Amino acid sequence: MHERLTLIGEPNTFPLPAESIERKHSLKGLYDICLALNKAQKIVENEVTADNKELVMITGANQGGNPPFCEASAYLK
C-alpha cells in the first residue's frame, strides 16, 4: 500500500498520539486512502483544526466530498 500511495504522490504518515487528557483534533493532509488507491491519482486533502472542541459538525453541499472526508476520518480510529 505504501508503494502504491507513493507512486501517485500521496503522503504517508503515522499519527502522533496526544496524552489522553488532551483534546487534540488537528489533522492536516487528510485524504481517503481507498479512494486514492481506486482512482490511482492524487486526491484532494482536507485540514481540520478542532482542538478543545467537544462537537464538530461536518456540513457541505451535495457532491462536496463529505463522505470521503468522513471515511478518511474513520480510518484514524
pLDDT at position 77 is 59
pLDDT < 50 stretches in the chain: none
pLDDT at position 60 is 75
> In 10 A of CB 19, how many CB atoms?
6
pLDDT at position 70 is 79
Cell of 13: 504518515
